[in-house]
Amino acid sequence: MADRTTPYGAFNFLVNLNGPASEESPLGGFSDVSGLSSEITIAEYRTGNEKPNHVRKVPGLHKVGDVTLKRGVVNSKDLWDWITATRTTGVAAKRNVVITLRDETGKPVQKWLLGSVAPMKYTGPTLAAKGGGDVAMEELVLSSESIEVEALT
């Protein structure tokens, strides 16, 4: 059992898209990750001759939610190159993605391992000439076939 009782902050994380960079220098600089989820569908079943007047609930298929990544636009085509590879090579462009939560000292404490991931939607920044200090943000939605959680402490 872990000794820590204080939850980790949600602001110290790394996203490794397993592209041209290594785990030590992951692609990204993402400010937001959302949609890490897994859902198991439940089938309701009742045989006609059962005495109890209720249905049985049987676990069925599971599905993984789409993961959304957001970051400020930087002078890099890494995301667009992956989208282009997916459009031109299809399944061959799928990757495994690792999202690592770190503690206050930068030590990895938990990982979400996404398997067979493909980009499914890219949204570029909203550009407006009104001035101000808004950061140009881009968004990438990932489709994943599997998700595993690995506790590192």
Query: Rounded to an integer, what distance in angstroms lies between the CA atom of residue 119 and that of residue 106?
Result: 28
Q: Which residue has the higher pLDDT, 64 or 7?
A: 64
Query: Rounded to an integer, what distance in angstroms lies between the CA atom of residue 93 and that of residue 73?
Result: 23
The mean predicted confidence, pLDDT, of the chain is: 89
Residue 82 host element (H or E): helix 78-89
Q: Which residue has the higher pLDDT, 3 or 43?
A: 43
Q: Read off the pLDDT of residues 90-121 as tens digits, 9 standing for 90 and up.
A: 999 999 999 999 999 989 999 999 999 999 99
From the number of C-beta atoms within 10 Å of its C-beta (0-12, 13-18, 19+), residue 126 rates as exposed
Which pLDDT score, from 0 to 100, does residue 11 have? 87
Query: Rounded to an integer, what distance in angstroms lies between the CA atom of residue 129 and that of residue 91?
Result: 40
The angle formed by the CA atoms of residues 140, 145 and 149, to the nearest 5 degrees, is 90
Query: For residues 142 and 69, is the Cβ–Cβ distance under 8 A?
Result: yes
Domain 13-151 part of CATH 2.30.110: yes
Q: Read off the pLDDT of residues 131-141 as tens digits, 9 standing for 90 and up.
A: 777 889 999 99
Structural domain boundaries of the chain?
A: 13-151
